[in-house]
């Protein structure tokens, strides 16, 4: 991996990026946080993290100029990208949160949790949960089926194309917790906060 490119963690003003950077640094890879469109354009791989409001995330991407760079890198150059939490949700066609359109890389919509038993199932969904695999993926190489990952979210993706779904997680009902299409990957959970198996998943992304 060249020192010029490496992995860029995209800073578009949404969330704590340092914990993601620290986890990649533990894996001895060339990684840095950047909001510079030229640096993002040179990256060999991209991370789109994020915590917060969908509409604000889209607005920040567009106002910073990162939106156009991302669309070219991912859809034309086929650069591998991993979306985390809000970063994954932004890859959908649209969201109920702000009722705005997303990057449009997946035929999917982002919806708020709708719980029947609100005494047991609180929103946001916070804590450790598993992800049932729907198909094999290099992203989950050497990660056991019952591995626990850390979640904190009030909205989740609903995919219209079953082949895009990697894992399904149950919180009163099943929702999509990881997605993949060609060079595009996303996790609703936070691998950077998920200890050993989150680190393994990030190592797998490096190795793609």
Residues annotated as part of the active site: 85, 190, 192
Element (H, E) at 23: helix 18-26
Q: What's the CA gap between 77 and 65, in Å, rounded? A: 17
Q: How long, in residues, is the chain?
A: 208
Residues 6+ apart with CB under 8 A from 56: 14, 98
The token pair that represents 81 in the structure block: 């990208």
Task: Report the chain's C-alpha Rg in angstroms.
Answer: 16
* Coil, helix or strand at residue 82: strand
The token pair that represents 50 in the structure block: 């994020």
Place of tokens 């040179």: 42
Element (H, E) at 66: helix 66-71
């Amino acid at each position: 991996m060249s020192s010029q490119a490496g992995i860029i963690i995209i800073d578009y003003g949404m969330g704590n990026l340092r914990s993601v950077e620290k986890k990649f640094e533990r894996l001895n890879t060339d990684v840095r946080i950047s909001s510079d469109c030229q640096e993002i354009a040179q990256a060999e791989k991209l991370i789109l993290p994020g915590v917060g409001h969908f509409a604000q995330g889209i607005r920040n991407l567009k106002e910073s100029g990162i939106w156009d760079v991302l669309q070219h890198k991912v859809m034309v150059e086929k650069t591998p990208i991993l979306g985390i939490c809000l970063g994954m949700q932004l890859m959908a066609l649209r969201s109920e949160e702000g009722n705005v359109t997303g990057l449009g890389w997946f035929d999917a919509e982002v919806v708020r949790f709708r719980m029947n038993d609100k005494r047991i199932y609180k929103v946001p969904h916070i804590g450790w949960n598993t992800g049932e695999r729907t198909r094999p993926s290099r992203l989950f190489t050497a990660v056991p089926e019952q591995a626990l990952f850390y979640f904190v979210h009030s909205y989740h993706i609903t995919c219209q194309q079953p082949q895009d779904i990697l894992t399904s997680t149950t919180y009163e009902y099943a929702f999509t917790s990881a997605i993949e299409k060609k060079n595009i990957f996303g996790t609703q959970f936070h691998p950077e906060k998920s200890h050993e198996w989150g680190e393994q998943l990030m190592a797998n992304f490096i190795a793609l």
